[in-house]
Structure 1
Amino acid sequence: MKWGTISLITFLMAFPFGLKGVASSSVEVHGILGDTVLLPAPEFTGTPFRIQWLNVTSGKSTLILRKQWNTPSEDSEKYNILNNGSLTIDNLVKEDAGNYKVDGHNKSGAALFKETTVTLKVHDRLPQPLLIENCSDKSLICQVEPSSSQKLKVTLFQNNKLKINQEPNHANGTWRWTFQQSSLVGKFKCEIASDHIKNQNEKEINCLGPDQEKELQAWIANDDLKHRKLPQPPVHAVPNQAPQQQQRLPLVRSEQHQPGGPPQPCPRPPQRKPPRRMKEGP
């Protein structure tokens, strides 16, 4: 069995299914073309032995599927009976609409519940609505172009909270709802409904006012500074202090050169003469 999207199910019941073993005089289920739908069986007590579903739309009973717990289950690409007795129908088509009957018995042959009839209605899928925001006047438009002129109901949610539930305007084959909001910041959802079926569209919108825009820009700038990295020094770093350069001492020439001639010897320092000795008398 191929599982698809289980469509919205709406029950119109003459009794709550919580009352075990009691039959329903009227159960109505709504499905969407192409989806999977579930037809519920009444709750029961005890161990089931056999549960079967029949199509009784044409006035005669046609077996859809039977499940018997002591034998292998019947294979079907379209139908499946769950352990609680409910029937799933895959890939809904218009011809699946109609009346279905379910009955079940235990091993001794006693009925698990009274025979119950379920009416299935199959609907066209609603188109997905389009969300259009206008930040200049803080308005939000939800529009949809349905395949027919069926009347739709719209509900607007902001951050999963109900905001507006109102009737649309219809012009040129388009349904349009215009919402004036004090704040267009957050997650918005436009949901349309008609004949027990729904469709929706979600969109993240961020229309900030002038003051909010400045605050956001300041916050972004401040956050950017926090994460900005300082420049790293090169691999071969220059020492913080360069070694002091040694002062060059002037060269002391040991010899003076005169142009055009051989080098001259350095002059000797003048020698001091010894003092004269005085003559002794006769």
Structure 2
Amino acid sequence: MERKFLTMVVFSLIISLFLAACSKDGSMDHGNMDQNSNKKQTDPNHDGMNHGDMTPSSQKDNTNVEFSFKENPESGKQIPLDIKVNNKDGKPIKDFEVEHEKLMHLIVVSKDLSYFDHIHPEYKGNGLFTVTPNFPSGGEYKIYADFTPKEGSKTVKSNVVTVAGNKAKTTPLTEDKELTKVVDGKEVTLKFDHLMTGMDLTMTFTINDAKTKQPIKNLQPYLGAVGHVVAISGDTETYLHVHPMDEKATGPNAKFMTSFPKSGLYKIWGQFQQNGKVFTVPFTINVPK
């Protein structure tokens, strides 16, 4: 009986040591698959921006992006912007994946997030993209280049631009108390299944006709999907580009899944298309801890 008891004790100790070793060295860090990891990158062109897709945050970023205007940008003037994508050795990255019908998505926002534009640079080859942004007034803007090199991970690079010209009045970012807006004859309501940091959540845009209140069921694909959502934090340090859960939906509901890596104010822009016209609906939310 005593020998049997000692055998059981030794066996238990061996199992405990084995489990401890596995926990230390072989456990899966689910944070590495968090689509919204906000870790800073060593590349000075990269702010640790979050793109809203399931890309392991531990995957090494091997890109360096140069943003250069043909001349100093000024409001009201058409000044081309070159975006050059190289690897860390300074050699051009030549091949890119098509993401929602485009090789690169460029998001332009004013510092106070009152201005938003979603445009698509033209690829000239050899790692060079070019586009002419519209800056409606002078002041500070932030641009986000969103792209995926072939055999690489989805990447977002950002750059702050100071634009000459008369500055617009700054609009403080404040939380929307009602998440229903009327834009281009559409009444759009935004709802969350729950709203907190660090958790996957579903946000649903419900789109009705503003006059008749009837549900709109004939949304058309915009860049290959029922809609697109961009969310940027009030300090512009966190960027989310979120695609719909059901890309082939036609309304009235469009559902998106994401998570917010930190609390605070976020500006959200939902973009949809009906009858050949794209409409953009902005909301400002306060994400609690």
TM-score scaled to structure 2, two decimals? 0.24
- Higher relative contact order by CA 8 Å / sep ≥ 6: 1 or 2? 2
Of structures 1 and 2, the larger Rg is shown by 1
